[in-house]
Amino acid sequence: MGLNVKLCRIRKVWFDQLEKDLNVSTISDLSEDYKIIVKNFEGIRFLLKKYVTLENQRVIDEVFYPTDYIGHMIDFESFNRIKKDDLSKIKDWPISYLSETKVSQILSLLNQIDKNEFLETYNSKELNDYGIYPMIWHDDESSDKFYNKNDIKEGFEALVKLFIRAADNKNYILVFIV
């Protein structure tokens, strides 16, 4: 089990429908496509924030932790009393999203990033010292290894491709930390 982020592209018309009748079980049917960044998105986020200017760090935070959401915020005191089997019955989860405008803003920033310079900010010791999840970063670049510079590169490239598709199609992006 680990911390992953699932980014789902969704058409504005489907987003409007979801906003009127929030039902998380329909999201898979409504999304155009999605990308799951497996367990290294906090590393990508950390390095992006390190790379961009101070004023753009908030934009980077929005990629994985959007401030806009539909639904109701979870009352964690009540949530902790829900049995695991009952979680599927909850239909009013808050869903974080990036609007078409935010998608374009984020893509504009991502397009300004020189991938090679960005990757040069990778420092496994620094990521581990700062407690960046999953805190097992290393410098072994073997193709069968994860949590290294190559893993960050692949995650970053997938992120940019998803934002390009979303911007080109004027999509929203739903963001789930799972």
Q: What is the pLDDT of residues 44-71, one digit of tens each?
A: 999 999 999 999 999 999 999 999 999 7
Higher pLDDT, 40 or 21: 40
Give the pLDDT score at 18: 85
* Alpha-carbon span 147 to 46, nearest angstrom: 13
pLDDT digits (tens, 9 = 90+) for 96-107: 999 999 999 999
Say which CATH number the domain at 130 has. Answer: 3.40.1760.10
Q: Which residues contact 22 (CB under 8 A, 6 or more apart)?
A: 70, 71, 91, 92, 93, 95
pLDDT digits (tens, 9 = 90+) for 3-23: 899 999 999 998 998 888 776
Higher pLDDT, 78 or 31: 31
* Alpha-carbon span 13 to 31, nearest angstrom: 11
Give me the residue label for tokens 């998803």: 162
CB 64 within 8 A of CB 45: yes
> How many separate domains does the chain show?
1
Structural domain of residue 38, as residue ranges?
A: 4-177
**Angle between helix 57-64 and 41-51 (nearest 10):** 170
Give me the residue label for tokens 């290393």: 138
- Residue 86's Cβ-count burial label (10 Å; 0-12, 13-18, 19+) is exposed
Closest by CA to 24, choosing from 102, 87, 98, 101, is 87
pLDDT digits (tens, 9 = 90+) for 103-149: 999 999 999 999 999 999 999 999 999 999 999 999 999 888 899 99
Give the pLDDT score at 1: 44
Give the pLDDT score at 77: 56
